[in-house]
Amino acid sequence: MEFKIANIRDFNLDHIFDCGQCFRWEKQADGSYTGVAMGKIVNMQFAEDPLSGGTLRIDNCDEVDFQRIWRPYLDLELDYGKLKETLRHSDKTGTMAQAIVYGEGIRILKQDLWETLISFIISQNNNIPRIKGCIEKLSKLLGEPAGEYDGKIYYSLPTPEALAAADIETLEPVKLGYRAKYLIDTAKKVVEEGFIRENLGEYMGVGPKVESCIELFGRHNLAAFPIDVWVKRVMSRLYGFEEKDVKGMADFAKETFGDLGGVAQQYLFYYIRGLDGITKSS
């Protein structure tokens, strides 16, 4: 079963799935992406058309799933054309205008909270290819088969219960390093106390940066402005901040990008990685 929708603008699957917000979508040889989210496996392909807007094809999806799952997940309700107009001249250097051109098809996905929590705990002091590998191995080890697509079995992430029942030795093959303890600890806390929605920093392994990522990617709080090494790099090179002046960067982001800080951050993150020759997260 396949669902198609036309006239989609400000949309590019490479930009969306390779801007560091998610770690589980696999690019196929034909340029499409296969992934599992909300317990469903789908394959997405996008055909560009600058005049009318492109057409998005989602395989293994019907109209109901599209409306209930993928339309919100892909943030198709939000007018990114208008949003980009607001951001384009927000800074005085023209940096944001260039970053927007470079990542014009980025959208902030509405991801599952639990998934963003464990994904970004794993992300600390780690690189994107390794993060993807860890999450993949973790899902195969303790997740459930979500189904099969194109001859390949896809696994869901482990539930909090499954992860809480694991121990360090069980997780050894996932090669999480010192983060394994954080994951188990966090899973136990979720199982015992229910999901803490405020003060995510109470979870082991969640500091200001990870919390900010969860706010942005898991709760769609577009004002959140996560500051990691790449953003520090942008702020330093393109806006003239000292590398360690995180407070200054945060204040600047708030003043300059306001409640769209998170979207601005994604344009900047994707842009600086491109400038440094990092593509396809490899």
Partner DNA sequence: TTCCAGGTGGCAT
Partner DNA sequence: ATGCCACATGGA
* Residues near DNA (CB under 7 A): 19-21, 120, 123-131, 172, 175-178, 182, 201, 203-211, 213, 226-231, 265-266, 269, 273, 278
The residues, any chain, with a CB within 8 Å of residue 193's CB and separated by 6 or more, are none
Measured at the CA of 79, the angle between CA 77 and CA 82, to 5 degrees, comes to 165
* Nearer to DNA among residue 54 and residue 211 (C-beta): 211
Closest residue by Cα to residue 107 from 171, 7, 15? 15
| Structural tokens at position 48 | 């560009």
**Min. distance of Cβ 226 from DNA in angstroms?**
4
* Nearer to DNA among residue 116 and residue 156 (C-beta): 116
* Nearer to DNA among residue 1 and residue 199 (C-beta): 199
**Min. distance of Cβ 53 from DNA in angstroms?**
25
**Min. distance of Cβ 88 from DNA in angstroms?**
20
In whole angstroms, what is the distance from residue 219 CA to residue 257 CA?
19
Q: Are 198 and 113 in contact (CB under 8 A)?
A: no
Burial of 193 (0-12, 13-18, 19+ CB in 10 A): exposed
Burial of 266 (0-12, 13-18, 19+ CB in 10 A): buried
What's the first-to-final CA gap in the chain, in angstroms? 32
**Min. distance of Cβ 198 from DNA in angstroms?**
16
**Min. distance of Cβ 99 from DNA in angstroms?**
13
* Nearer to DNA among residue 61 and residue 272 (C-beta): 272
* Nearer to DNA among residue 45 and residue 126 (C-beta): 126
Q: Are 53 and 76 in contact (CB under 8 A)?
A: no
* Nearer to DNA among residue 3 and residue 75 (C-beta): 75
**Min. distance of Cβ 268 from DNA in angstroms?**
8
Q: Are 233 and 268 in contact (CB under 8 A)?
A: no
* Nearer to DNA among residue 5 and residue 278 (C-beta): 278
Q: Are 130 and 14 in contact (CB under 8 A)?
A: no
**Min. distance of Cβ 92 from DNA in angstroms?**
22
